[in-house]
Amino acid sequence: MKIAILSRNKKLYSTRRLVEASEQRGHEAMVVDVLRSYMNIASSKPEVHFKVENLPAIDAVIPRIGASVTFYGTAVLRQFEMMGAFPLCESVAISRSRDKLRSLQLLSRKGVGLPNTGFAHNPDDIGDLIKMVGGAPLVIKLLEGTQGIGVVLAETRKAAESVIEAFMGLKANILVQEYIKEAGGADIRCLVIGDKVVAAMKRQAQAGEFRSNLHRGGSAALIKITPAERATAIKAAKIMGLNVAGVDILRSERGPLVMEVNSSPGLEGIEAATGKDIAGMIIEFIEKNAKPHNTRTKGKG
């Protein structure tokens, strides 16, 4: 098969591993920088050009679209879908997962455990918003944040009010969330491929920090997850419509709570922590499922 990996940088660990795994399994892999791609939408024959060349027919696309290029990146992916390539994750599913509020609403509608979460537009409503999610301590998150940046723990109601007011003053979109103290600065990353959790790791925040992101100095270790955690991760990925997803779960007194569902989970941390060939499993999934025009939306969404 000809596999296109949509990634801005060939040298990134995940990109390199996906190229390696494709070639090992006898496929031809090419890395396509979405920002260097342009498209012919007007004709009845959709095309994608990359650095002046008209790309050959692609069988499957692995999107690794960074949060900052979601808009253009999903448009390029949609174009490949219109051309009949099999997307590892569909453009609509990626757009959906990038909107934190929409994701939480979809998950809550289907009864997935979530931390109590609120959002508001108007600073006059802050008092009631804080009360609604159960009072301080509270976690306040910038909707556009990633890698733990823009996630703040407010220990008291006064602190929460000030932080929310400050963010709203900057016209930033935020959500306000119940703090899951018993998680102890740890979360669980479940890597879902198809309808299976193929690997899981526990990420532990460094001392004095509640955010477990590896970018914030957290450390990763192998963990055995419970059946409830496994079922929750699979259900969350399915609701989001993602064939491959990194589902982040907090262990709470009332069971597993989903924090976020990531459509381009990094492979470095999880391959190192578990010693598993996740890139190989992703290519294997594509081999089993790639059929031309095998998207529910066919690029229409």
Closest approach of Cβ 203 to ligand ADP, in Å? 7
Q: How far apart are CA 59 and CA 81, in angstroms?
A: 10
Should residue 285 be labelled a site residue for ligand ADP when binding is judged by CB under 6 A?
A: no
- Work out which of 61, 106, 180, 214 binds ligand ADP, going by CB under 6 A: 180
Q: How many chain residues bind ligand ADP (CB under 6 A)?
A: 23
Q: Give the binding range for ligand ADP (CB under 6 A) out of 69-77, 156-164, 174-182, 232-240.
A: 174-182
Should residue 256 be labelled a site residue for ligand ADP when binding is judged by CB under 6 A?
A: no
- Work out which of 1, 39, 151, 290 binds ligand ADP, going by CB under 6 A: 151
Query: Residues near 167 by Cβ (< 8 Å), separated by ≥ 6?
Result: 140, 142, 174
Closest residue by Cα to residue 49 from 9, 4, 86, 108:
4
- Indicate the burial class of 124 (C-beta count within 10 angstroms; 0-12, 13-18, 19 or more): exposed
Q: How far apart are CA 258 and CA 277, in angstroms?
A: 25
Residue carrying the six token digits 């109601």: 157
Closest approach of Cβ 227 to ligand ADP, in Å? 23
Q: Give the binding range for ligand ADP (CB under 6 A) out of 22-30, 120-128, 178-186, 227-235.
A: 178-186
Q: Which is nearer to ligand ADP, 155 or 195 (CB)?
A: 155
- Work out which of 59, 229, 260, 271 binds ligand ADP, going by CB under 6 A: 260
Should residue 210 be labelled a site residue for ligand ADP when binding is judged by CB under 6 A?
A: yes
Closest residue by Cα to residue 58 from 68, 66, 48:
48
- Indicate the burial class of 284 (C-beta count within 10 angstroms; 0-12, 13-18, 19 or more): middle
Should residue 211 be labelled a site residue for ligand ADP when binding is judged by CB under 6 A?
A: yes
Should residue 248 be labelled a site residue for ligand ADP when binding is judged by CB under 6 A?
A: yes
Q: Which is nearer to ligand ADP, 167 or 179 (CB)?
A: 179
- Work out which of 115, 241, 265, 299 binds ligand ADP, going by CB under 6 A: 115
Angle subtended by helix axes 278-289 and 13-24, to nearest 10: 50
Should residue 206 be labelled a site residue for ligand ADP when binding is judged by CB under 6 A?
A: no
**Joined tokens for residue 167:** 């963010």
Query: Residues near 276 by Cβ (< 8 Å), separated by ≥ 6?
Result: 198, 199, 270
Give the CA dihedral 250, 280, 67, 299, nearest 10 degrees: -110
Q: Which is nearer to ligand ADP, 92 or 180 (CB)?
A: 180
Closest approach of Cβ 78 to ligand ADP, in Å? 24
Q: 209: how many CB neighbours lie within 10 A of its CB? A: 15
Should residue 148 be labelled a site residue for ligand ADP when binding is judged by CB under 6 A?
A: yes
Should residue 212 be labelled a site residue for ligand ADP when binding is judged by CB under 6 A?
A: yes
- Work out which of 29, 107, 164, 183 binds ligand ADP, going by CB under 6 A: 183
Distances (CA, A) of 284 to 88, 94, 143, 193: 11, 21, 34, 10
Q: Give the binding range for ligand ADP (CB under 6 A) out of 17-25, 72-80, 176-184, 278-286.
A: 176-184
Buried-exposed string 86-115: b where 16+ CB fall within 10 A, e elsewhere: bbbbbbbbbbbbbebeebbebbeeeebbbb
Give the binding site for ligand ADP (CB under 6 A).
115, 139, 141, 145-148, 151, 177-180, 183, 187, 205, 210-213, 248, 250, 259-260
